C-alpha cells in the first residue's frame, strides 16, 4: 500500500481554489483584524461572484452582476478586495480593472488586494503567484504570469488596459448623487469607457456593487441597457433571448424590492442582517434622513421632494373590458426621434360609472414628427370616435403650430388643445389633482407590459428622469374630472 502525505498548504490551496467563500474565510485575517460576522448574505454573494467568474474561466458568454446592498455589509471586501487574489489562484493571468468614485478609495481597495497576495499565508499556499517587484504599486500591480490589477476612478481614462473582469464599487459619491452632472459622468464612464476596456466583449463580465442613490444611477442605467439589448435580440429573430445580467437587491428591511424574491425567507426579524443592522440600528440610520435611508439602506432611491404619488395604492386589474362613462386619450408630444430625450406619450384614461379612473393604455416612444402624427391618427382610429383626444400645446409659436397640425390631422374626432398657463403651468401643480385620486385609492390600471415604467415614473415624480407619462395622465384626468364640455376642437386654458 502506498501512503500519501499531504502538505497542509496544499490542502488549504485545494479547498480555497474550489470555493471562493472558503477563500474569504481563510484569508480574512490577512487584511482585517476584526472578527468576521458571517451573516447568510456573505456566502450567497461569494457564490454568486464565483458563478460569474467561473463563466469567464470557461470562456462562456458573460453574465453581468449588479449587487445593491447597505453600507457596512462587507461588500467591498468581497467584491473589490478578495475576489481578484482568489481569481489568481485559478487563473494567474487574469487581468482586472477596478474602479470607484474616488481615486483614494480605488487605491485603498487595490492595496488591500495586493496585501493578500503578499501575505505569508497566500505565498505559502499559492507559490506560483508571485508579484513583479518592478510593477507592484497600489494603482497597478502585476504578477509574473501576466495577471494584473489596475485601479481607476469614475471619469478616469484607462488607456492601454483591457480586463478579463471589470469591477465597479460605488461609482457615485453618495454626497453628490443628486447632481445631474455627476450622474451623467458616472453613467457615461461605465457605458463609454469601461465597456470598451474588455479583453473580449462577449466574455468579460462587469460586476457593479453599490447602494441605490438615484432613480437614474448606474444600476438603473446598466439594467436599462441590458433590457434594450434583449429587446433588440428578440426583434432580430431570437425569441429566446434572455437578459444578460443578474440583479441582486438586498434592502436592509424586508420589502418588495428584494431580488431575487426567494431571498425574503432569509430575513430574520424582518431585517437582512439583524446582528450588524438590527431594527434599532436601522431606526438610528432612518433618523438621519428619509432620502438618505431610502437609497442607501432600502435600495429604493425616492428623491428628495418625491413621493407625490403613492403608487402602491393603484390597483392593477386583469385586462378585460369594463363599461366606462367617458374616455380621454391625452398626448404629451416630443419633437425628437431616438436619443435620450423626452418621449411622446399617448395615455388612455377612462372614468367608470362609479367615478373611478382607469389607466387603460400607454403608448410611448421617440418618433420623428411624421411618425408621431401617423401614430396619433392610427391610435385615434383604434380608440373610436367616442374617445376624447387631448393635445398639450407647448409654449411658443412652434408649440402652437404643432398642436394645430395635430388637430387638422384628427378632423372628425373630438379634440381639444390644452395650453397650461400662469401659476398652474408647473407639472407638479397640474399633477396634484390626479395624485389626490391615486393616493385615495380611486385609480385603477389595466395589467400590461407598460405598467412598470409608468409606475416608476409616478413613484419618483417630480424628480423622475422623465415626466411625460405624468403629464399625459394629468391632462387626461383633468379633462375627465371637469366634464366633457363641447364637442369639437377647442382650446382650454388653465
Distance separating alpha carbons of residues 95 and 135, to the nearest angstrom: 14
Closest CA to 390 of 466, 476, 280: 476
Residues β-bridged to residue 99:
152, 168
DSSP state of 355: S
Q: Which CATH number fits the domain that encloses residue 479?
A: 3.30.420.240
Closest CA to 155 of 132, 181, 126: 181
- 80 CB-near residues (< 8 Å, 6+ apart): 98, 100, 109, 113, 167, 169, 209
Distance separating alpha carbons of residues 225 and 123, to the nearest angstrom: 41
Closest CA to 46 of 88, 82, 93, 10: 82
Mean pLDDT on 167-177: 90
Question: 157-182: string of b/e by CB count within 10 Å (b at 16+)?
Answer: ebeeeebbbbbbbbbbbeeebbeeeb
Q: What is the pLDDT of residue 485?
A: 42
Asked whether the CA dihedral 172, 177, 182, 188 is positive or negative, the reply is: positive
Distance separating alpha carbons of residues 250 and 272, to the nearest angstrom: 7
Q: Are residues 398 and 465 in the same domain?
A: yes
Distance separating alpha carbons of residues 94 and 102, to the nearest angstrom: 24
Radius of gyration of the chain (CA): 27
Q: What is the pLDDT of residue 464?
A: 81
Distance separating alpha carbons of residues 484 and 189, to the nearest angstrom: 50
DSSP state of 70: -
Q: Are residues 466 and 489 in the same domain?
A: yes
Residue 70 has pLDDT above 50, yes or no: yes
Q: Are residues 112 and 231 in the same domain?
A: yes
Cell of 13: 490551496
SS3 state at 83: helix
- Count of beta carbons in the 10 Å neighbourhood of residue 412: 7
DSSP state of 490: E
Q: Are residues 233 and 96 in the same domain?
A: yes
- Reported as a single tens digit per residue, the pLDDT across 200-213 is 999 999 999 999 98
Residue 423 has pLDDT above 60, yes or no: no
The bridge status of strand 388-392 relative to strand 415-419 is: parallel
SS3 state at 202: coil
Mean pLDDT on 414-427: 75
- Reported as a single tens digit per residue, the pLDDT across 363-389 is 999 999 999 999 999 999 999 999 999
Q: What is the pLDDT of residue 403?
A: 87
* Lowest-confidence segment of 1-15, 264-278, 341-355 by average pLDDT: 1-15
- Reported as a single tens digit per residue, the pLDDT across 25-46 is 999 999 999 999 999 999 999 9
Q: Are residues 475 and 401 in the same domain?
A: yes
Q: What is the pLDDT of residue 202?
A: 94
- Count of beta carbons in the 10 Å neighbourhood of residue 35: 8
Distance separating alpha carbons of residues 293 and 289, to the nearest angstrom: 6
Closest CA to 389 of 326, 447, 451: 326
Q: Are residues 246 and 341 in the same domain?
A: no
Residue 74: φ, ψ to 5°? 70, 20
Residue 461 has pLDDT above 50, yes or no: yes
Q: Are 395 and 418 in contact (CB under 8 A)?
A: no
Q: Are residues 119 and 37 in the same domain?
A: yes
> Domain containing 459: what range?
311-493
176 vs 102, higher pLDDT = 102
Q: Are residues 289 and 367 in the same domain?
A: no
Q: Are 141 and 109 in contact (CB under 8 A)?
A: no
Q: Are residues 272 and 333 in the same domain?
A: no
Q: Is residue 278 part of a domain?
A: yes
Residue 96 has pLDDT above 50, yes or no: yes
What is the percent of the chain with per-residue pLDDT over 90, rounded to a whole number? 69
Q: Is residue 302 part of a domain?
A: no
Give the count of domains, the chain.
2
Q: Are residues 115 and 251 in the same domain?
A: yes
Residue 245: φ, ψ to 5°? -155, 145
Q: Where are the beta strands (DSSP E) in 172-276?
A: 206-210, 245-250
Distance separating alpha carbons of residues 49 and 205, to the nearest angstrom: 11
Mean pLDDT on 325-330: 94
Q: What is the pLDDT of residue 125?
A: 97
Q: Mind giving me the DSSP string for 283-335?
A: HHHHHH-HHHHHHHTTS--PPTT---S-GGGSEEE-S----EEEEEEEEE---
Mean pLDDT on 92-119: 97
- 16 CB-near residues (< 8 Å, 6+ apart): 22, 23, 26, 27, 86, 89, 125
What is the percent of the chain with per-residue pLDDT over 70, rounded to a whole number? 92
Distance separating alpha carbons of residues 58 and 164, to the nearest angstrom: 12
Q: How would residue 233 be classed by pLDDT, with cut points 50, 70 and 90?
A: confident
Q: Are residues 250 and 177 in the same domain?
A: yes
- Reported as a single tens digit per residue, the pLDDT across 429-452 is 888 899 999 999 999 999 999 999
Cell of 414: 373630438
Mean pLDDT of the chain: 89
Q: Is residue 458 part of a domain?
A: yes
Q: Is residue 72 part of a domain?
A: yes
Amino acid at each position: 500500500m502506498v501512503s500519501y502525505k499531504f502538505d497542509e498548504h496544499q490542502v488549504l490551496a485545494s479547498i480555497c481554489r474550489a470555493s471562493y467563500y472558503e477563500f474569504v474565510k481563510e484569508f480574512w485575517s490577512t487584511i482585517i483584524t476584526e472578527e468576521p460576522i458571517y451573516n447568510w448574505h456573505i456566502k450567497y454573494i461569494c457564490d454568486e461572484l464565483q458563478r460569474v467568474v467561473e463563466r469567464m474561466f470557461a470562456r462562456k458568454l458573460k453574465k453581468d452582476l449588479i449587487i445593491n446592498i447597505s453600507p457596512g455589509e462587507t461588500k467591498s471586501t468581497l467584491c473589490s478586495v478578495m475576489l481578484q487574489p482568489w481569481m489568481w489562484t485559478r487563473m494567474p493571468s487574469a487581468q482586472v480593472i477596478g474602479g470607484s468614485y474616488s481615486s483614494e478609495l480605488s487605491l485603498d481597495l487595490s492595496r488591500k488586494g495586493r496585501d493578500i497576495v503578499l501575505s505569508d499565508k497566500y505565498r505559502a499556499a499559492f507559490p506560483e503567484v508571485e508579484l513583479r517587484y518592478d510593477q507592484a504599486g497600489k494603482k497597478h500591480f502585476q504578477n509574473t504570469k501576466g495577471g494584473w490589477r489596475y485601479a481607476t476612478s469614475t471619469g478616469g481614462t484607462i488607456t492601454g488596459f483591457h480586463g478579463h473582469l471589470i469591477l465597479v464599487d460605488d461609482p457615485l459619491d453618495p454626497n453628490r448623487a443628486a447632481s445631474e452632472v455627476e450622474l451623467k459622468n458616472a453613467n457615461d464612464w461605465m457605458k463609454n469607457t469601461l465597456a470598451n476596456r474588455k479583453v473580449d466583449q462577449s466574455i468579460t463580465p462587469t460586476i457593479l456593487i453599490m447602494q441605490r442613490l438615484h432613480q437614474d444611477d448606474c444600476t438603473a442605467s446598466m439594467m436599462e441597457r441590458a433590457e434594450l439589448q434583449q429587446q433588440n435580440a428578440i426583434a432580430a429573430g431570437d425569441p429566446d433571448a434572455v437578459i444578460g445580467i443578474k440583479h441582486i437587491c438586498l434592502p436592509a428591511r424586508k420589502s418588495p424590492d428584494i431580488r431575487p424574491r426567494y431571498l425574503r425567507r432569509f430575513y430574520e426579524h424582518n431585517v437582512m442582517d439583524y446582528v450588524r443592522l438590527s431594527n434599532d440600528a436601522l431606526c438610528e440610520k432612518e433618523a438621519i434622513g428619509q432620502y438618505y435611508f431610502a437609497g442607501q439602506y432600502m435600495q429604493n432611491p425616492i428623491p428628495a421632494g418625491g413621493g407625490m404619488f403613492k403608487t402602491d395604492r393603484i390597483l392593477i386589474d386583469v385586462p378585460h373590458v369594463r363599461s366606462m362613462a367617458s374616455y380621454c386619450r391625452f398626448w404629451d408630444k416630443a419633437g425628437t426621434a431616438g436619443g435620450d430625450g423626452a418621449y411622446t406619450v399617448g395615455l388612455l384614461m377612462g372614468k367608470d360609472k362609479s367615478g373611478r379612473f382607469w389607466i387603460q393604455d400607454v403608448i410611448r416612444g421617440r418618433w420623428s414628427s411624421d411618425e408621431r402624427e401617423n401614430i396619433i391618427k392610427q391610435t385615434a382610429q383604434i380608440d373610436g370616435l367616442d374617445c376624447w383626444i387631448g393635445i398639450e400645446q407647448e409654449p411658443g409659436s412652434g408649440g402652437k403650430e404643432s398642436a394645430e397640425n395635430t388637430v387638422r390631422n384628427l378632423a372628425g374626432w373630438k379634440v381639444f388643445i390644452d395650453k397650461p398657463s400662469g401659476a398652474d403651468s408647473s407639472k407638479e401643480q397640474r399633477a396634484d389633482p390626479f395624485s389626490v385620486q391615486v393616493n385615495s385609492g380611486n385609480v385603477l390600471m389595466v395589467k400590461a407590459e407598460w405598467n412598470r415604467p409608468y409606475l416608476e415614473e409616478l413613484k419618483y415624480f417630480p424628480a423622475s428622469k422623465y415626466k411625460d407619462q405624468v403629464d399625459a395622465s394629468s391632462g387626461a384626468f383633468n379633462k375627465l374630472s371637469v366634464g366633457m364640455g363641447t364637442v369639437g376642437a377647442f382650446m382650454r386654458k388653465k
